[in-house]
Amino acid sequence: MVKVIMGNRGSGKTKQVIDLVNEAVNVEAGNVVCLERGQNLRFNIKYSAKLIDISEYPMQLGYDYLFAFVCGLYSGNYDITHIYIDSLFKITGDDDDAKAGAFLDQLEKFSQYSGIKFTITISADAETAAEDVKKYII
């Protein structure tokens, strides 16, 4: 399952993710992971969630690299039940809706295989999003 929280800057997406992550660590049986670029969430996420600042890893930006990173997380920990990705365009360095839609489709297939749920924030106007992205917006 892939869900997208989409809205312009300042619309409360990050606050919503913080609340969802903190709730998930209390109710989910497995491990909860949150990916971000920078350390904006460091003091807001409960310690029982694995918070990863992706900029600490020497990898290139892009959807393929992010997908490989997610696969690597899963291969190292089969107990992950939910991955949150805060600010997809910032993490990938690419705000192309077509690429984002293809990435979300790829995550959906991976979710069906692995059982991991994904919740992703995207800073952009939901009204103008491509159809491939809109189908995941909650």
56 φψ region: left (φ > 0), alpha (ψ -120 to 50), beta (else) = alpha
For residue 107, name the pLDDT band (cuts at 50, 70, 90). very high
Residue with tokens 């969802």: 20
For residues 50 and 96, what is the distance between their CA atoms, to the nearest angstrom?
A: 28
For residues 71 and 46, what is the distance between their CA atoms, to the nearest angstrom?
A: 24
Record the pTM. 0.95
Q: pLDDT at position 129, please?
A: 92
pLDDT in tens, 43-83: 899 999 999 999 999 989 999 999 999 999 999 999 999 99
Domains, the chain, with CATH or none = 2-122 (3.40.50.300)
Q: Which residues fall within 8 angstroms of residue 82, CB to CB, at 6 or more apart?
A: 24, 28, 30, 32, 33, 116, 117, 118, 119
- Amino acid residing at 91: I
